[in-house]
Amino acid sequence: AINMLGLAKRVKAKILQASTSEVYGDPKVHPQSEAYWGHVNPIGLRSCYDEGKRCAETLFFDYRRQHNLRIKVARIFNTYGPRMHPNDGRVVSNFIVQALKNEPITVYGDGKQTRSFCYADDLINGLIRLMDTPDEFTGPVNIGNPGEFTISELAEKVLVLTGSTSKIVFKPLPSDDPVQRCPDISLAREMLGWSPRVALDDGLAKTIEYFRTVAI
């Protein structure tokens, strides 16, 4: 981030930080608005990512204050869609690949933790709108789909949409795995005139179609 900020300063470019809902950590406020400062373990397994992104946000705002750089900060919530890597390791791609191979679906923990999944096209649309806002608007702004689902619900949906015979198996929950996550997108609605268009079932169907066409 600091290298890119230095470059943006030199060439006088507008610069976007693809930040993340991880800056909210395991949130104690629900849904999460941009005003929430987060609840992050600074020395845990995930902290390298969480704190790295938080530090990057700090650097963006320092460059804005010190050099008047044109910055835009988007806090991206869980995103999925065609062309994810089959071994990406995230939950949507894992479940779809497992279902298509009729292998066990690996739910970590009890599956009651929630996530809000945004289809890639919706995200891109939000980012383009953010880049087109006036320079005074820096964000941070949440970009995500407020439809919130448990991981078990996601597993069931993938099973139904693929027609798979996979069984669900439960594996240990990774440490510091957030219990719930859902964006408050009021700011994006107001400032970007944006809200997601693709419902989870439709986006999953498109993503499943994609994974059927690639060798997995």
Residues catalogued as catalytic: 49
Question: Of the candidates 141, 151, 185, 188, which one interacts with ligand UDP according to CB under 6 A?
Answer: 151
By rule CB under 6 A, what count of residues binds ligand UDP?
Answer: 13
Between 36 and 75, how does the x/- string for binding to ligand UDP read (CB under 6 A)? Answer: ----------------------------------------
Per rule CB under 6 A, is residue 113 in the interface with ligand UDP? Answer: yes
* Min CB(191)–ligand UDP separation in Å: 25
* Min CB(38)–ligand UDP separation in Å: 14
Q: How far apart are CA 167 and CA 95, in angstroms?
A: 11
* Min CB(90)–ligand UDP separation in Å: 3
Q: How far apart are CA 108 and CA 96, in angstroms?
A: 15
Q: How far apart are CA 36 and CA 15, in angstroms?
A: 23
Residue 161, SS3? helix
* Min CB(113)–ligand UDP separation in Å: 4
For residue 138, what are the CA distances in angstroms to 68, 141, 142?
11, 8, 12
Closest CA to 158 of 106, 211, 92: 92
Q: How far apart are CA 198 and CA 177, in angstroms?
A: 26
Closer to ligand UDP by Cβ: residue 15 or 118? 118
Per rule CB under 6 A, is residue 78 in the interface with ligand UDP? Answer: yes
Per rule CB under 6 A, is residue 174 in the interface with ligand UDP? Answer: yes
Q: For residue 21, give every residue at least 6 positions away whose Cβ sits within 8 Å of its Cβ, in sequence order, or none.
A: 32, 75, 76, 77, 78, 142, 144, 181, 183
Residue numbers at the binding site for ligand UDP (CB under 6 A): 78, 90-91, 94, 106-108, 113, 115, 151, 173-174, 177
